[in-house]
């Protein structure tokens, strides 16, 4: 049972699923409003609304095929939603309608960065180059859209050096300085995951979307990941939205959890709320709500209080 993998055992069943989230976070960075995504006859996401609080780590969880990655693809501009609105509110109050922006502008203007479930680095380019590609927008401006750069003007050279410094700082943080000049595709899996997060952070995002960042990591690597994510939340103006199956990551670092099942939101609240939510447990166990108590008794979960 996946939920039991957390540090605290599942608590007793309480029967008040959605009561804990009347309005969601007070200062949201992302507002998803009645989002629906249909592929032909299949409704992958159905009338989903939730908010991501500024400065929070929000987890999006749910069983396989619940529509989590579809939500991500809608937020980051890879899919155009069938219905609904996705708004991103920056600190100054400027609001971007993400569903109306062309794909690359979601990152360029609205500053939403993402990673992918199956890592998408630039495998033949070096680690350092991967990070510099992420600084495309400021460097492009510094190079005068390549015209000044071609002439070899010093303005670009100093901008590039600043970029390298920034990349080097991130490499220090993720412990990859020694491998900076190696091809990214040659790195071990865990390093590639961290590099992809660092690359996304190099775009200075206000919202960082991570699609299963702990997939394939061993326990030590996934605790390093927790540290990295907390650092991102605490030291940068970046809110984090993540999809994750590893409950040790989800329960430890999330400020808020949204649970999807069959494209519908079934719960939204703090980790403690979610841990005790009947519908969440039912979804993960694959039984109806009414049978949860019986099944829990059977597997010996009932009564093990947190």
User: Contact positions toward another protein, by CB under 8 A?
Assistant: 76-78, 103-108, 113-114, 116, 120-126, 128-129, 132-137, 139-140, 143, 145-146, 149-150, 152, 156, 160-161, 164-165, 168, 171, 177, 180-181, 183, 199-200, 203
Least distance to another protein, CB of residue 121, Å = 7
Closest to another protein by CB, 139 vs 295, is 139
Q: How far is the CB of 2 from another protein (least distance, A)?
A: 28
Q: How far is the CB of 49 from another protein (least distance, A)?
A: 24
| 132 or 217: CB nearest another protein | 132
253 membership: H or E segment, kind and range: helix 247-253
Determine the Cα–Cα distance for residues 104 and 77; give it in Å rounded to an integer.
Answer: 8
CB of 237 to another protein, least distance (A): 17
Nearer to another protein, 125 or 287 (CB): 125
Nearer to another protein among residue 10 and residue 110 (C-beta): 110
Minimum distance between the CB of residue 21 and another protein, rounded to whole angstroms?
A: 29
CB of 297 to another protein, least distance (A): 46
State which residue, 167 or 301, has the beta carbon closest to another protein.
167
Cβ contacts of residue 19 below 8 Å, gap of 6+?
none
When the beta carbons of 9 and 124 are compared against another protein, the nearer one is 124
Check if the beta carbon of residue 211 is closer than 8 Å to that of residue 69: yes
What backbone torsions phi and psi does residue 202 show, to the nearest 5 degrees? -65, -10
Task: Report the nearest approach of another protein to the CB of residue 136 (Å).
Answer: 5
Nearer to another protein, 47 or 129 (CB): 129
Looking only at the bridges linking them, the beta strands covering 239-243 and 207-211 are parallel
Q: Find the distance separating the first CA and the last CA of the chain, reported in whole Å.
A: 16
- Between 11 and 133, name the residue whose CB sits nearer to another protein: 133
C-alpha to C-alpha distance for 19 and 33, rounded to whole angstroms: 19
Q: How far is the CB of 248 from another protein (least distance, A)?
A: 27
d(CA 264, CA 284): 14
The tokens of 46 are what?
A: 């159905």
Beta bridge partners of 211: 243
* Cβ partners under 8 Å of residue 159, min gap 6: 138, 139, 142, 143
Query: What are the residues whose beta carbons fall under 8 Å from the beta carbon of 99, sequence distance 6 or more?
Result: 74, 80, 81, 84, 85, 86
User: Angle at which helices 219-235 and 189-201 pack, to 10 degrees?
Assistant: 10
């Amino acid at each position: 049972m996946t939920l039991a993998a957390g540090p605290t055992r599942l608590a007793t069943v309480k029967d008040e699923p959605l009561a804990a989230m009347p309005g969601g976070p007070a200062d949201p960075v992302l507002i998803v409003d009645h989002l629906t995504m249909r592929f032909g006859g299949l409704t992958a996401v159905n009338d989903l609304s939730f908010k991501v609080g500024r400065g929070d780590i929000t987890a999006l969880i749910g069983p396989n095929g619940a529509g989590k990655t579809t939500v991500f693809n809608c937020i980051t501009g890879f899919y155009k939603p069938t219905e609904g609105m996705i708004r991103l509110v920056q600190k100054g109050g400027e609001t971007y309608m993400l569903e109306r922006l062309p794909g690359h502008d979601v990152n360029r203007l609205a500053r939403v960065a993402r990673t992918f479930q199956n890592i998408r680095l630039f495998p033949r380019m070096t680690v350092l180059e991967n990070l510099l590609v992420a600084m495309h927008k400021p460097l492009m401006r510094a190079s005068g859209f390549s015209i000044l750069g071609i002439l070899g003007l010093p303005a670009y050279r100093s901008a590039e050096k600043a970029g390298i410094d920034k990349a080097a700082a991130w490499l220090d943080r993720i412990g990859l300085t020694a491998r900076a000049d190696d091809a990214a595709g040659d790195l071990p899996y865990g390093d590639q995951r961290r590099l992809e997060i660092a690359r996304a952070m190099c775009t200075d995002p206000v919202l960082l979307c991570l699609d299963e960042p702990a997939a394939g990591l061993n326990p030590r690597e996934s605790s390093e990941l927790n540290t990295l994510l907390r650092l991102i939340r605490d030291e940068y103006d970046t809110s984090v939205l993540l999809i994750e199956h590893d409950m040790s990551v989800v329960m430890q670092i999330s400020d808020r959890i949204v649970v999807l099942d069959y494209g519908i939101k079934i719960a939204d609240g703090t980790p403690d709320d979610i841990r005790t939510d009947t519908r969440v447990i039912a979804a993960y166990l694959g039984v109806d709500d009414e049978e949860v108590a019986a099944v829990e008794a059977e597997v010996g979960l009932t009564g093990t209080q947190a």
